[in-house]
Chain A
C-alpha cells in the first residue's frame, strides 16, 4: 500500500473530480456540488470536533450565516469574490463568540448550547423577513462572472462545452481544493498539534504553556468559518435559500458526515459527506427501501467502527504493517 505515494493518490482523486461532471446532466453535477459544499462544512466541523474535541451542533447555522450574507451582498450587486470572504470573516467572529460557552461547559452540555444557537439562528432568519425574506427566503442570487469564466452562462472552455452548472461545479471544486490545502497546512502546523493536545489532555496541555482558552476559541472560529465558506457557495449554486435549509437536522447531518467518515482524520469528512450525500442517491434503485438500508448501514458502521470509515481503513493498514501492541489500559490511565 505504501508503494504508491500519498500525493499520487491525491492527484488521482483530483483528476477524477475534474472529469466527473463532463458529459453528465444537471442532477448529477448538482449532487457533486452538494458533496463538495458539505465536505467543506464537515471539514470545518472536523477541526472543531475531531481535532480539538469540542462538540458543536451548530454547523448548519454557520452555513446559514454564510449563505445569507453572500445572498444579501450579491443581490445588491457585490461580486461573490468580495461577498465570500465577508461571509467567512463574519462566521469566524460569530464562531469565536459561540466558542465562549465552551470555556465553561463540556460534552453534552456544550452540545445543547450550540444546538440552541442553531435554533436561534433559524428563528431569526424566519422572523426577520425585512432582511432575510422570512420563510420565503432569498432567491435568484447571481452566479459569479470571472470574466473569462462566467459561471452564469453556458460556453466553451478549452474546447469543452460546459453548462452553467458544470462551471459552478468547478468553482466549488477550486474552493474545496484551496480550503483543503489550507486545512492540511493548519493541521500539520504547531496549531494542529495544539488542537490535538486540547482534545487529548487539556489539563496537561495548559500546564505545558498552551493557552487552552485561546485555542478552544480558535477551534470554534476556524471551524465555523468553514461552515460560512460552504454557505457562501450554496448561495450561487442553489440560488434559493430559506431557513429550513439550515435547521438543526442539517447540523446533525454534518455531524454524521464527520463521525461516519472518521472524526480527527483529514480525509474523514470527504468520505463521510460522500456516504451521507451520495450513498442515498445510489440506493434510489431500491425505491422505498433506500432510507432503511442507508440507516441500517450507518448503524452497523457505528457499532463496529466508532472511528468511522477511516478507522476501518486504519485497522486494515495496521494489519498489513508490523504489529504494534497498544496498551489500552494505559490509554485509560492517561485521562485526567
Chain B
C-alpha cells in the first residue's frame, strides 16, 4: 500500500506581477525518486522553497507526512524527517568530515541538557563512521571539510542530509559542477541508499542524464506550471517537453 510522504496541493506563488508558480499539485509516495526539471525561470526553486516552508505560497498547501509545513522553520522541518542538500557547497569548512557528520545527526539525539553533559560525540561516532564509509569518504574522515575537492564536498553534503535518517530528502542540483566519475559515484550511492532504506527523494537538476537515470518519475515545469509528468521514457518522448525544455 502506497504511503504519501509529500503532498503539494494547488500551490501558487507570485512576486508582484510575476507568477512564479501556478496551481501546481503533485504527490510523492514513500520510496519514490521524483525529478523536478524545467528551464531557468520555470519556478523550480520557488516551488522548492514553498515545499521547504521558506516561502509562504499565495494559495495552496504543502504537507509532509500529513502535516502542513507552511511557515515552518528549517530546523523543525528537519525534525519532521526532511533532509536537504544545497545548490552551492554547504559544509562546515573548518570542521573535520567526522564533525560535519556528527553535527548533522546530534540534534536528533537526546535533549539540550543531555547534549551538554553527555559524550562529546553524542554517541554518534560509530553511526557517523558508517555514513562516511557509505559515501566513500573514509580516507578523508579527519580532514577539514574545507580542504576537500568540490565533488567530495558534494558527497559530504549528501551524507549530512542522510545522517538523521530522514523520510524525505530534497536534493537541490546535486550534480552541479561535479565531474563525471564523482557524479557516477554520487548517483550510485543515492540509488543504493534509496533501495536499502526506502527514503523518498525529490531532485531538482539540470543534468538530464543524471535525472533520467536516477528518478522513477519526473515532473516538468515551464513558466510556473506543470507541462508534463511521467516516467523518464515518457518525458523523453513528450513533444511539449522537447519544445519547452530540451529544445528539440
Contact = CB atoms under 8 A, between A and B. Distances in A.
Given A204-B86, A207-B78, A210-B75, A330 B92 contact: no
A145 interface: no
Interface residues of A, number: 31
A334 B147 contact: no
B144 A336 contact: no
Contact of A334 (B93, B103, B143): B93
Interface string B92-105: 11110001001110
A207 B146 CA distance: 19
B144 A204 contact: no
Q: Main secondary structure on chain A at its contact with chain B?
A: helix
Nearest to B160: A208
A327 B148 contact: yes
Contact of A326 (B117, B122, B144, B163): B144
B153 interface: yes
Contacts of B88: 333-334, 336
Interface in B153-201: 153, 160, 163-164
Interface in A296-320: none
A325 B93 contact: no
B115 A201 contact: no
A190 B95 contact: no
Interface stretch (A136-144, A191-199, A248-256, A267-275): A191-199
B148 A211 contact: no
B108 interface: yes
B236 interface: no
Counting chain B residues whose Cβ lies within 8 A of the other chain, the interface size class is 35 or more
B116 interface: yes
A325 to B, nearest CB: 7
A203 interface: yes
A58 B99 CA distance: 31
Given A204-B92, A207-B78, A330 B149 contact: yes
Contact of A330 (B73, B75, B121, B146): B146
A6 interface: no
B150 interface: yes
B212 interface: no
A194 B99 CA distance: 10
Interface string A7-40: 0000000000000000000000000000000000
Interface of B: 73-75, 78-79, 84, 86, 88-95, 99, 102-104, 106-108, 112, 115-118, 120-122, 143-150, 153, 160, 163-164
